[in-house]
Amino acid sequence: MITKEEIAHAYREIQDEICAGLELADGKGKFEEELWSREGGGGGRTRIIQNGNILEKGGVNFSAVEGKLPESIKKSFGVSEDDFFATGVSIVIHPNHPWIPIIHMNIRYFEMVSENAKELSWFGGGIDLTPHYVINEDARFFHQSLKATCDEFKDDFYSKFKKWADDYFFIKHRAETRGVGGIFYDRLNPESTGLGWEEIFEFSKAVGRTFLPIYTEIIERNKNKPYTKAHKQWQYQRRSRYVEFNLVYDAGTKFGLETNGRVESILMSLPPQANWVYDFTPQQGTEEEKTLDLLKKGINWI
């Protein structure tokens, strides 16, 4: 069985790789690092990039924390144990260009040890894309890349995890998806997957290493496209939906805040600016209307 130390070490390496690659893709912005400790145990490395050529605000965060679970989290997990360990990498990138999408990725490992020494452990994570303007070719490339990664490990991973993402990244009060989805999974262990711990760990790392080639390709495709003030205003409106999802529904945000996590690191997912326009209705036939029509569950992008 792999150890939690090995998992945390691999996640730190993935954080390093992604930060270096994003700096190269941006050409100007540099990550600033802040090391932090959690009062209950453990800590992490928060890395933030701001005001780059392309990346207006982004975070690539690593954490490895431990301690006692609060009652609210124990209830939501359906467990009675107290002691936990959690490690992972969490990424949100907000570009300054309306034709380049917001992207999110998270890979994580969680374990508890019960009073009878039984270990309760699992991997979770996912990656999803939130375009301000949906570009069909980019959405197809994104999903094809994720399917290729999933298919290396199990034939049904992509179909199961895509549906899970469609259901999870859904803004119920808006009746729309946050973006074009991706994959989302939780509580992966040998019992739930039929794979060994090593294979599940390799899958987790593969998802993490899928992020950089996908996003840098999408940046290159779109960074030189012209845009107008109206495009920027739409970008700010779409960012507002991202904010609504993260503050109302996102389980990671809730877990971080309720386990006394570092607030600045948790809320780095929020954009530097977002606008709420009252009762906005796009004109017929516009790119804005086309995008709203594609924010639905169950679209086959492949």
CATH domain 4-293 topology: oxygen-dependent coproporphyrinogen oxidase (3.40.1500)
Q: Note the pTM of the prediction, 2 decimals.
A: 0.92
Give the span between the Cα atoms of 146 and 207, in whole angstroms. Answer: 8
Q: Which of the residues 9, 94, 97, 104 is marked catalytic? A: 104
Write 68-75 long-range contacts (CB < 8 A, 24+).
Answer: 68/40, 69/112, 69/259, 70/258, 70/259, 72/258, 73/255, 73/258, 73/259
pLDDT, one tens digit per residue, over 118-160 is: 568 999 999 999 999 999 999 999 999 999 999 999 999 999 9
Could you say which DSSP state residue 267 is in?
G
Element (H, E) at 251: helix 251-258
pLDDT, one tens digit per residue, over 173-210 is: 999 999 999 999 999 999 999 999 999 999 999 999 99
Give the span between the Cα atoms of 110 and 61, in whole angstroms. Answer: 16
| Mean pLDDT value of segment 23-39 | 95
173 catalytic per annotation = no
For residue 117, the model assigns a pLDDT of 45
Tokens of 42: 């453990």
| Mean pLDDT value of segment 92-102 | 98
Structural domain spans, the chain: 4-293
Task: Count the neighbouring beta carbons within 10 Å of the beta carbon of residue 240.
Answer: 14
- Among the residue ranges 13-27, 58-72, 226-240, 282-296, the one predicted with the least confidence is 58-72
Confidence of residue 83 (pLDDT cuts 50, 70, 90): confident
Cβ atoms 243, 78 nearer than 8 A = no
